[in-house]
Structure 1
């Protein structure tokens, strides 16, 4: 383990993360549990989900993919929101329709994400 990774882990622990007995399946670095409860690899700089079965792996993958789609939709909502003030009325109507559709999609994704999280806990 490089000294940079050790420094990152130390910074995370000082910020409230906890060392775990688990290691990253990709690189073997010890994982830390963040305050959010997520497991994190300081070497790969990503969260890690531990699973016991192929079914749990599929559920975890779905949650991660939905989260990414939700992030993309959110970014587009912000982008459209910033563009609206510069538009003429007819252009604004088109943007508002798009914004309304994106907000509906975002809301549905949030609902699905919440349901997936509840299923995971049971």
Structure 2
């Protein structure tokens, strides 16, 4: 099934379950948004969508989204490096490998700190 067929199937399932199609579209993929009975607004492709009321809110949400993707990439890179180190025959690991792994762990820590700071600033505004 192609991507558009999958999204059409998800949209029809949402309608069958009682969701309402909204006039607004997902800012990422332009697919129509749906309002669930619970009041939650979702995109059939991306899941939960946040409706923003200001440019500041949009910037904050966009930044969090980018950081989420960067966090996933960083974790997969750390995992890949870990697996590579495990597969090596030698018990002694190269110092450069350890530095590289440490650098990626620092990147992960910075991403998580930034997300916390952004979330705190969103709550105070």
Distance 1:22 1:84, change over 3 A: same
- Counterpart of 1:53? 54
Structure 2, unpaired ranges of 5+: 1-6
Q: Is the 8 A contact 1:70 1:109 kept in 2?
A: yes
Q: Residues 51-82 of structure 1: CA distance to partner in whole angstroms, max 9, x if unpaired?
A: 10111111111111111111111110000011
Question: How far 1:96 moved relative to its partner?
Answer: 1.6
Distance 1:68 1:82, change over 3 A: same
TM-score by length of 1: 0.71
- Counterpart of 1:77? 78
Question: How far 1:90 moved relative to its partner?
Answer: 6.3
Structure 1, unpaired ranges of 5+: none
TM-score by length of 2: 0.69
Aligned length: 111
- Counterpart of 1:64? 65
Q: Secondary structure at the match of 1:51?
A: coil
Q: Secondary structure at the match of 1:85?
A: helix
Q: Is the 8 A contact 1:23 1:29 kept in 2?
A: yes
Q: Which is worse superposed, 107-116 or 90-99?
A: 90-99
Q: RMSD across aligned C-alpha pairs, in angstroms?
A: 3.1
Q: Residues 27-63 of structure 1: CA distance to partner in whole angstroms, max 9, x if unpaired?
A: 33414499xxx74211xx1142211011111111111
- Counterpart of 1:104? 106
Partners of 1:39 and 1:89 in 2: CA distance: 52
